[in-house]
Every structure is written in C-alpha cells, then in structure tokens.
Structure 1
Amino acid sequence: MKKQFIVALAIMVTAFSFAQKKELKSAEKAIKDSNYAEAKSLLTQVEPMLSSMNEDLKAQYYLLNAKALYANGSANNDDVAKALKSLGLVQGDLEVENQELRNTMLQSFVKKGNDAYESNDFSLSSKNFENAYRVSPQDTLYLYYAAATATGVQEYDRALVLYEELEELNYTGIETEYIAVNKETGVIEVFQSKNIRDISVKGGDFVKPSKRHTESKKAEIVKNMALIYTNKGDNEQALIAMTKAREANPDDLNLLISQANLYYKLGDTEKFKELLTIATERDPNNAELQFNLGVMSQDSGDIESAKKYYDRAIVLDPTDVNSKINMASMILNQEKALIQEMNGLGSSSADNKRYDELKLQRSEIYKSVIPYLEGVLVTDPANIEAATTLMNIYSATGDDKYKAMKATVESLGGN
C-alpha cells in the first residue's frame, strides 16, 4: 500500500511539473508572437506554483515574466519596475539571456531618454534615464541624468530621492577625457577614447596627446539637494547639505554664493553679508556679487553702501539692468521725504524760500536718475516702466527729450 502511494505521488509530481513546463512554454510562445497580455495572464496562473518549482523552472519563469512585463519597450513605469525586479531573480544557466535582455532594455531606455531630452520632455527623459540606471546599476551617470532632468521640471520630491541615492553611492561624476591639440586650429579637442586619440595623433593631424579629469559633480548634487530642501521648507536639512558641500569644496565660489543666498532666503542677513563679503574678496570683478551686496545694503537701509555696490556692478557690467533699475528706484525713493516736507509748509516768506530749496533738491534727484534709466533703455528698449518713469522725469525737469520719450512710451503701449 505504501509503495502504491509513493508511485502515485511520483506520478502526480511529474504531471504537476509537466503542467508548469506547458504553461511556461505557452507563455514563451505568446511573447514571441508579441502577445504580452496573454503571456502575463499565463504567467499569473503559474505564479502560485513557484514554491514547488525547481531552480531551472523558476529562472525560466522570472525571465519570461520580465519579458512579458517589459513588452518589448511598450511597458509603463510600474511594469518596467516589476520587470527589473523579476530579472534580478534570474539565476543559473539563463544568465546569458538575462544579460541580453538587460542590454536591449538599456539601449532602449537611453535612446528614449535622449530623444525625450531633445524634445524638451525632461520629465519623460528623467524616468527613462532612471530606468537605464536600474537596468545597469554600474552606469551611475544615468542616475545623475535622471536627477538633473527631474530638477529641471521641478519634480523635487523625486529628484531629492535620486540625489540622496547618488550621495549614498559617493558619486562624483569625475571622468577621464583623452585630448590632443589640433595642429591646424591649435584648439584642444576631446576624443571618445584613448585609442581614437592615439590613432588621430599617429595620423599627424593632432599633437600633444594627454588626458584630463572633468570636475566633480558632488558639489552640484549637494547644492541642488539644499535648494530642494529649501523649496520644501526644510531649512535645517538645507543648511546641513550646503555646509557639507562647502566643507568638501571650500574653494568653490559658486557654492559659497549659493550658501550666502540660502542664508538670505532664511532671513539671516548677517551671515549672508559675511559670506558675500568673502566672495567679493575672492572675486572682486564679479558684477553679480556686487549687485547682491547692493540689494542687501539697500534692504538694511544702508543707502550709501548700496549706491557704491550698484555703481561698481554697472562699471563691471554696463548691461546690468537690475543694478540700474534698483539704483534709480532707490534714489527716487528719497523724493518722498521732500514731498512730505513741501506739503507741510505754510505761505510765509521763510516757507516759500524753503519750498524753493526743496524743489531744487527734487529736481537734482530727477537729474541724477536720468543716466541710469537711459542706460536701462539702451540694454532693454522695450522696458515700458523705465520709459514711462523717464518720460515723467523729462517732463518735470523741462528736458527737450520729453516728446521723443512720450512717443516711445506710446509705441510700447503706454499712455
């Protein structure tokens, strides 16, 4: 009786194994016929049998499941993630097929990522580059691309996760570039590989072969993380991230400026001024830094310092519209006190004399603003606010340019 039971059990196991193989065979045929929905349905029926499968059948199931889910590149992101998870479970003799599918997926995701980027669909580009990294985790550059493009379309939560992953990997993005000097142009050119560079040098068109390393992307990554934290209102994490970036790159001027701007956003104007002063000492010919110092001084009520910084910024960059507008606005703001005093005067001879003095001061204020507003219109001729203000000043000072400026304002759609 016992012998009969063992024989019956063996027959049942054999039949069960045969059914598994049959279902897998059917799923494989459906995939070859591009009938991925049918293949997924068949594999769903096989899934409860996994615990009883031998390792070879399990590997076959996971590979077929990945192919069905991937659907030759037409899968959505959720199915792609499931396909990659299934691929990760393929072991044994099917490792070659596993790698072949991974290579196919990688090429497809990279192409889709590049195509989407060229079409300015940065969200889709980011998702494809992330998928490329998930297929080939050693290619960390794709993870960086995914994070950077997600940041570009303000998908901050997702970008932050990707940046944090890059930081955990200690990603630097430093690459070796093989270069040589073009004999005809004298320009340094970068080659795709050392071998191509060497062949070009041997051909006689290039000289002075060498190599160089690209800059680390670590500072950029931490800076972007800090800015995202700031955007999310997590100021503590933002400061931690920026401090780490500065410690790792103490000589990076852009990081120093970013940290200063972060303190400014957080309302710590003293720290902002301290860091910005350090930055201007390192780069005294940076117009943007001078402008930022002007803004900070203006906000704190230090008008004389603000004028000095704005004027310096304009000298360094004559096209700096922002410094000119801020300077004009700040000077015109001094008119308010004069008008208030003028309105409070009586009709005595002393008051009339004081009124004339204030009126003269007001006229001088107008005249001192004119060069800045005219400078704005040289760089930005369509700036209707600057044109309107200038028209009113010309009118108040009796300047002959009034009529011409009035015509300009009307051409820009003003009254």
Structure 2
Amino acid sequence: MKKTILIASALLLGTFSFAQKKELKSVEKALKSGKAAEARTTLDGIQGMIDGADDKYKAQYYFLKGKTMNNLGSYKEAVSSLKEAIAFEESKGMNKYTGEARTILNEVAGNLVNSAIEDNKSKKYGEAAEKLYMAYEVDTNNQDYLYYAASSAVNGSDYEKALEYYLKLKDLGYTGVVTEYYATDAATGEKAKFNSETERDLMVKAKSHVKPENIDSESRLPEIVKNIALIYSQQGKVEEAIAAAKEARESNPDDMGLLLTEANLYIKLDKKDKFKELMTEAVQKDPNNPDLHYNIGVISMQQGNMEEARATFQKVLSLKPSYTNAALNLSTTYVDEGNALIEEMNKLGNSRADNAKYDTLKKKKDSLFRKGADVLEDLVANGQGNNDILNQLKGIYGALGDNENFMRVKKMIQE
C-alpha cells in the first residue's frame, strides 16, 4: 500500500511538470506573436504551481513573466520578475536566462526613463520620480537616473523623497561631471560641440575644425547640497543644512557653489557676520566677481558700516559700470546718511546756536544728497537710466528743492 502511494505521487509530479512545460511554451509562443495579454493570462493560471516546480521551470517562469510585463508596460513587475530570475539562477548555479534577462532589464530602464519624461511633461512628477528611481535600481551605474528622480520629486513637492535621493547622491560622491568635446569651425570661427572625442578628432584631422578642447561640465554637487540644505531649512533643520554644506566643502574646498550655499544658510539664521566672512573668502577666490563684492556691500550697509559699503559698491561699479543695483545702493548710503541729519535738524530749537548748527547740518545733508545724485547721473549718462534709477534721482532732487533737475528727470521718466 505504501509503495502504491509513492508511485501515484511520482505520476502526479510528472503530470505537474508536464503541464507547466506546456503552459510556458504557450507563453513563449504568445510573446512571439505579440500577444502579451494572452501570455499574462497563462502565467497567472500557473502562478500557484510555481513553488513546487522544477528549478528550470521556475527560472523560465520568472524570466517570461518579466518579459511579458515589460511588453505590457508594467515596469515595476517586470523589474521584480527579471531580477528574481537572475537571482534564482545565481543561487542555483544556472545561467540559461540571466544574459537575456539583463538585456531586457536595460530595455526596461530605457522604457522607464522615456515614460518618466512624458510624466514630467504632463506634470505627473511623483510618477516620474518613481520610474526614474526604478531605472536607477535597474542600472545603479547610471547615477544620473537618481539625480533626475530627485529633481522630479522636488518638482512634485515630495521633499522627503527628494531628500532621500539627494542624500544618497551625496554619499555616492556623485557630481554629474562629464567631459565635453569642442573644436572651432575653421570657416566661421565658432566653437562647435561634438558627441564624442573620436568624432571631434576626425573633424580636426579633416581640417574643417581647429583648436580641439576638452571641457568638463559643471559639477552638480553644489546644487545637490544646496537642495539638501533648502529641504532641511524648510523642515526647520538649518543646523543640519549647514553641516551638510560644510561636509561637502571639506572634500571640495575650492567649489564656489558650495561656499555660497553655506553662506546663504547663515543669512537664514540672520548671522550676517558669518555670511560676510564667507563672502570675503569667496572674493579672495574670485576677486573680479562683482556679485560677490555686491553681497558684501549689502551686508555692510545693513550693519551700518556705510564707508565700507560705499567702498565695496564703488568696487562693484569699477568691475561692472552697468551694475544698477550697486549704484542704487551706493546712492542710498548717501541719502540715508542725509536723512539721519534731517532727523537731527528737526530736533533743534530756535536759538542762535541751534540755527547755526541747523545751517551746518543742512549743508552737509545737501552735500550728501548731491553725492547720491551724482552716482545715479553717471549711470544715466551711460544710458543705464531705468525707472528705479530715475525715480530715486527725482526724489533726491525733490528733497534738495532743485526744481530744474526735478522736472528734467520727471520728463525723462514720462518719455
């Protein structure tokens, strides 16, 4: 009786394997005919039998399911099944489907990226982020996928997910820097970019282009750290944000973007002295950058260091004469000092001494206002007289009681 049971079980197992083999063949046939939905139906029908199947059928099942799901656009299931096929074969020392499964995974990654691009166009940022992250999981060597997943998460206001991705990028040491290949067109003198070094070198060899150059693209690390800092800051974790920026700067001490990111965080903490310190460091690295000098000027102005602010704004204008905001602020330093004198004048009485002091203060005030006007007149003379410049200039002449210049500037604004 015991022997009979064993024979019956063996027969049942044989029938089981035969049925699976037949169904899996029908799945392969359906896929070849482009009938992915039919293939899926068949796979669903034998899903419950797989745990007890022979190893060779298990590997085939996972592989075919991944292939089917890819054809149906169910990329998450496709990735899961194909990875399961690869992992299963590795655990069993098998290699029948692994090669093709990896090829399909690369295809899936491409499909995920293309689908994510369309999602981004449709402002489905959350879905785009998920697909791009999935593409990264398929191909972890392509860290660009993770970077774009983080960007999509930011666009979708999913800052928790974006922070997770950005922190991972930072830990990976990702910069996104690539070498780009350029050469100058011999006929036009214009710089042209090429898809590869080989393509560029062929054009140089053909003498249609000259002066080959290899130029590294800008690092994305400052942007990543900046976004980490901004998200931390939004969460009220400014200290963590500063720590992230400092850590990044330790490994990239010459990166101006990281320095400026850290400096801007101190502004959020209203630590103007620390901001100014870092701006001064930035100026030492890039002394001819008018924006850096301008920032120092603004902070000096806010701190009441008018002489330092004026010297800094004058430096900005020497580097970039058309820098209208620097001119406006330089003019404002004189106007503000003059206004402070007006307040002092208004507190005086009618005694002879007070009247004498009033006249002295008025002369000084008018002199300051004239200096403020002269700064702006220089811009107007150079064709930089925008509405902000002209309105401030008109206000100064009004305060001076200079009706002739007041009307002249007023007419310029009207024109």
Tell me if both proteins adopt one fold, taking TM over 0.5 as the criterion: yes
1:381 is aligned, of 363, 382, 386, to 386
Equivalent residue number for residue 91 of structure 2? none
CA contact (8 A) 2:313 2:327 kept: yes
Structure-2 separation of matches of 1:11 and 1:176: 64
Amino acid at match of 1:62: Y
Structure-2 separation of matches of 1:380 and 1:46: 79
Q: CA deviation at 1:358?
A: 3.7
What is the RMSD of the two structures over their aligned residues, measured on CA atoms? 3.9
Amino acid at match of 1:230: S
Amino acid at match of 2:403: D
Deviations 1:320-363 (A, max 9, x none): 23323333444333344334333333344444444444444443
Equivalent residue number for residue 402 of structure 1? 406
Structure-1 separation of matches of 2:76 and 2:332: 55
SS at match of 1:139: coil
Structure-2 separation of matches of 1:375 and 1:210: 41
Structure-1 separation of matches of 2:62 and 2:242: 45
Equivalent residue number for residue 3 of structure 1? 3
Change (3 A) 1:203 1:14: same
Structure-1 separation of matches of 2:159 and 2:351: 66
Structure-2 separation of matches of 1:227 and 1:316: 31
CA contact (8 A) 2:338 2:366 kept: no
2:194 is aligned, of 153, 166, 191, to 191
Change (3 A) 1:360 1:278: same
Q: CA deviation at 1:287?
A: 0.8
CA contact (8 A) 1:122 1:152 kept: no
Structure-2 separation of matches of 1:395 and 1:295: 26
Q: CA deviation at 1:42?
A: 5.9
Equivalent residue number for residue 393 of structure 2? 390
Equivalent residue number for residue 283 of structure 1? 286
Deviations 1:33-89 (A, max 9, x none): 6665x766665554443322233333333334434544544x5xxxx3343222211
Structure-2 separation of matches of 1:208 and 1:328: 46
Q: CA deviation at 1:305?
A: 0.9
Structure-2 separation of matches of 1:370 and 1:160: 49
Q: Structure 1: give runs of 5+ residues left out of the alignment.
A: none
Equivalent residue number for residue 233 of structure 1? 236
SS at match of 2:369: helix
Change (3 A) 1:356 1:207: closer
Amino acid at match of 1:2: K
SS at match of 1:324: helix
Structure-2 separation of matches of 1:240 and 1:277: 20
Equivalent residue number for residue 108 of structure 1? 111
Structure-1 separation of matches of 2:249 and 2:139: 31
Q: CA deviation at 1:394?
A: 2.8
> Relative to structure 2, which stretch is displaced further, 219-228 or 372-381?
372-381
Note if 1:56 corresponds to 2:56: yes
Question: What are the equivalent positions in structure 2 for 1:173-184 lying under 5 Å apart?
Answer: 173-177=176-180, 182-184=185-187
Structure-1 separation of matches of 2:70 and 2:411: 65
Question: What are the equivalent positions in structure 2 for 1:361-380 lying under 5 Å apart?
Answer: 361-373=364-376, 379=384
Structure-2 separation of matches of 1:179 and 1:351: 73
Structure-1 separation of matches of 2:235 and 2:379: 35
Deviations 1:192-231 (A, max 9, x none): 3344344334434345767665565545544543444334
Structure-2 separation of matches of 1:246 and 1:69: 45
CA contact (8 A) 1:324 1:375 kept: no
1:267 is aligned, of 243, 265, 270, to 270
Change (3 A) 1:2 1:250: same
> Relative to structure 2, which stretch is displaced further, 214-223 or 301-310?
214-223
Number of aligned pairs?
A: 402
Note if 1:90 corresponds to 2:85: yes
Structure-1 separation of matches of 2:205 and 2:20: 61
Q: CA deviation at 1:244?
A: 2.5
Q: Structure 2: give runs of 5+ residues left out of the alignment.
A: 87-94
Amino acid at match of 2:277: E
Structure-2 separation of matches of 1:390 and 1:34: 76
Q: CA deviation at 1:313?
A: 1.4
1:258 is aligned, of 258, 261, 264, to 261
Structure-2 separation of matches of 1:326 and 1:153: 38
Change (3 A) 1:180 1:337: closer
Quick one: percent identity of the two aligned structures? 37
* TM-score normalized by the length of structure 2: 0.78
> Relative to structure 2, which stretch is displaced further, 46-55 or 2-11?
46-55
Equivalent residue number for residue 137 of structure 1? 140
Amino acid at match of 2:269: L
Change (3 A) 1:181 1:307: closer
Structure-1 separation of matches of 2:386 and 2:212: 49
Amino acid at match of 1:264: I
CA contact (8 A) 2:144 2:176 kept: yes
Question: What are the equivalent positions in structure 2 for 1:9-48 lying under 5 Å apart?
Answer: 9-18=9-18, 20=20, 36=37, 43=43, 46-48=46-48
Change (3 A) 1:371 1:19: farther
Q: CA deviation at 1:290?
A: 0.9
Deviations 1:232-252 (A, max 9, x none): 332333233222322222223
